[in-house]
Every structure is written in structure tokens, then in C-alpha cells.
Amino acid sequence: MDTFILFTLVGTTYAVRTRDVLHMEMVEEITPVPNATASVEGVVFSRGQVVPVVNLRARFGFERIPPDLRSRLLIVQSNGRTVGLMVDSAREFARIAPETIRPPQDALTRLSGRYLEGIAIVQDRIILILDLSAVIEIAEPLELGAKETV
């Protein structure tokens, strides 16, 4: 069984593999970056390094809300890139058997599978497993001002 960190975003439960998460922290001071893509909130100084912060609400096309005490930054690493994912809350670890993860289907998810590796059903609970490399790919062509679509 693989282990995952579960987090919520707009009332939906998502998961990332624990092996990809360096650490988790509260959302504090985020420094805005001029001309960043729409989903990049800015940068933070975390454990001695400057880390870009991707607002997953904005990345997935949802309304932005100001962070609160439940908001978390998941500092993740994929393909040699370190990024902070800003989420509504993250408090849970779970083991998910690989056989319970199904491929995403366009009809089942608003994300049309673009950012999903799979969908797991654990004890009647739907958990969307993120494709971390797709999520943190700060889409370079979109930096020219094109609107990002999900």
C-alpha cells in the first residue's frame, strides 16, 4: 500500500504521495512575484530556500479565497522541482491500495483528468489522486498572458 497526504480543496478530498512531500507548513507571508502565471501566488522562504507557491484553487479554476488558519502549504518535489501547493486544509495521512485507484474519466471530474493520476474509493469516500508533475508544471506558454484552462 502506498501512503498519501490527504488535503481538501473546495470541499473535495485530494491526495499526494507522501514520498513527494518534503514538509507541510502554515500559510504565512507570501511575497507576490510580478508577471507570474495566474496560478502562482508568489514565493515563500521555507527552510533556507525560496519556493514558488501554486494556489491550487486558481490552478484548478476555482475562486481564490484568502488563506486562514486551516490553510496549508504542502512543499512538494517532483522532477527536481520544489513547489509549495496552497490548499484549504491538510490534516490526514492514508494508506491506499493500488488496486483501489482507477484511471480518471472525463465524465467523473471537473478537472477532465488533466491533473489527475487516478480516483480512489476508500470506505465510500472519493479521493482524487493528483498527478503531481502535471500540477506543478508551471505552464511556460501561459506566462505570455493566455488564460489557463483546466
- What letter represents residue 24's amino acid? M
Q: Tell me: the pLDDT tens digits for 60-70?
A: 999 999 999 99
pTM comes to: 0.85
User: Architecture of domain 2-141 in CATH?
Assistant: Beta Barrel (2.40)
Q: Tell me: the pLDDT tens digits for 5-31?
A: 999 999 999 999 999 999 999 998 999
What's the pLDDT at 79? 87
Give the mean pLDDT of 113-125.
87
Strand partners, 101: 120
Higher pLDDT: 34 or 112? It is: 34
- Residues 20, 9: Cα–Cα separation, whole Å: 19
- Residues 21, 31: Cα–Cα separation, whole Å: 22
What's the pLDDT at 112? 56
What's the pLDDT at 142? 36
Strand partners, 85: 54, 74
Q: What is the CA radius of gyration of the chain?
A: 15
Spans of all domains in the chain: 2-141
What's the pLDDT at 114? 78
- Residues 17, 21: Cα–Cα separation, whole Å: 7
CA geometry: angle at 27 spanning 66 and 77, to 5°? 120
**Torsion-angle region of 72 (φ positive above 0: left; ψ -120 to 50: alpha; else: beta):** beta
Neighbouring C-beta atoms of residue 8, cutoff 10 Å: 16
- Residues 133, 37: Cα–Cα separation, whole Å: 17
